[in-house]
Amino acid sequence: MRRFIPLVVSCALAASAQAQQPACDPGKPGLIVYHAGSVSGVLKEVEKLYTQRTGVCVKDVGGGSVAAARVVTAGREPCDIYAAADYQIIEQMMKPAGVAEYDIRFAEGGMVLAYRTTSKHAETIARGRLDPPASVPDVAPDWYEQMTGAGVSSLGSNPFLDPGGYRADLIFQLAQAKYGVANLYNTMLEHHIEGGYAKLKLGTDFDYQFTYEHSAIAAFRNDTTGTYRFAHLPDDVGLSSPAHAAQYAKAGITIPGLQIASSTGTVRIPATRVTWGITVMKSAQHREQAIDFLKLLLGPEGVAIQRTTGPAPISPAVVSRDDLARLPASLRSLVRAPD
């Protein structure tokens, strides 16, 4: 059975986080950036550099990508730049609803399985030495059996609010297809807590968590206890390899839409390789500043910052051929449109 934190609680938490963001001084030029929490590191560093160069203040709001998409559409919060942990949110939700014109795919990665040495089956869930990024072990061949053993649990965020949450569901679907174990998808869901209970501790209150590899590397480096671990999932399950695009596309999840008149009630998000997307909102009040910010992010300095913080940059960034025609002219030299 799926277990969720009620939406009203999650939205209240999102609103609280938004309210804590520092406001720009009255009369000072501003830029408003809503983004996935998984790219907070790179965007905040680029924002600092951008403000130093231009004097433009940036209001930074991080959180779940789906929740943020609804805040800046149904919630009518001003937003200039929107960056999602899954470019499909822009493709399947924002562009069809007419609130964004193009999608720039600027970063990529994959999902890993995180745990602690105190997690159940920690000694056997992975094989190999962990010394990231040079050495990351693979999960054991029977990892899915160990994760569905008695008393074992995993934790994820609400899939209706966050790609990190619904990617766990996609991993379960892909595991079912790969291993062919009867009812494996349901069994993995039964051991999975959805909602992202903030006070639960990995290795104490739950055993495993699916997370982005660059986030896991950062957590490993910042771990003062020496107990944090993570391992690679198989490429055809971990949403980490373009070679398995056709296999990924067989999985998908349906979530509520943007809750605005121009959006459908529900939207199907297909599984793809983990890829981050960014756009300038059609309603942007600071369009020229937003374009200048993207030029910095997608240019050599922004790419260098991203190589340090993660996720891995796509350089040049990628757009569809249709979107290339919609891009501001000053951004076209920084992207490519595959044939």
pLDDT digits (tens, 9 = 90+) for 286-330: 999 999 999 999 999 999 999 999 999 999 999 999 999 999 999
The helix/strand/coil state of 28 is coil
Give the pLDDT band of residue 26 (cuts 50, 70, 90).
low
Q: What is the radius of gyration, based on Cα positions, of the chain?
A: 20
In eight-state DSSP terms, residue 55 is: -
Give the pLDDT band of residue 8 (cuts 50, 70, 90).
very low
Pairing of strands 57-63, 266-270: unpaired
Give 265's contacts (C-beta < 8 A, 6+ positions apart): 256, 257
Q: How far apart are CA 36 and CA 95, in angstroms?
A: 18
At residue 198, the pLDDT reads 74
User: Same CATH fold, 111-246 and 7-109+274-336?
Assistant: yes
State the alpha helices, DSSP H only, in the chain. 7-19, 40-54, 65-71, 87-89, 143-147, 163-179, 184-190, 213-222, 245-248, 287-298, 300-309, 321-326
| Residue given tokens 């962990």 in the structure block | 130
The pTM assigned to this predicted structure is 0.92
Residue 326 near residue 54, CB atoms below 8 Å: no
At residue 320, the pLDDT reads 97
Residue 151 near residue 121, CB atoms below 8 Å: no
251 pLDDT exceeds 80?
yes
Q: Which CATH class is domain 7-109+274-336?
A: alpha beta
At residue 12, the pLDDT reads 34
In eight-state DSSP terms, residue 336 is: E
Dump pLDDT digits (tens) for 115-136: 999 999 999 999 999 999 999 9
CATH architecture designation of domain 111-246 = 3-Layer(aba) Sandwich (3.40)
At residue 339, the pLDDT reads 74
Dump pLDDT digits (tens) for 173-227: 999 999 999 999 999 999 999 987 778 999 999 999 999 999 999 999 999 999 9
Spell 240-250 as b/e; 16+ CB within 10 A means b: bbeebeebbee
Mean pLDDT calculated for residue range 256-282: 97
Residue 196 near residue 14, CB atoms below 8 Å: no
Q: How far apart are CA 278 and CA 276, in angstroms?
A: 7
Q: Where are the domains of the chain?
A: 7-109+274-336, 111-246
CA dihedral 267, 272, 278, 280 (to 10 degrees): -40
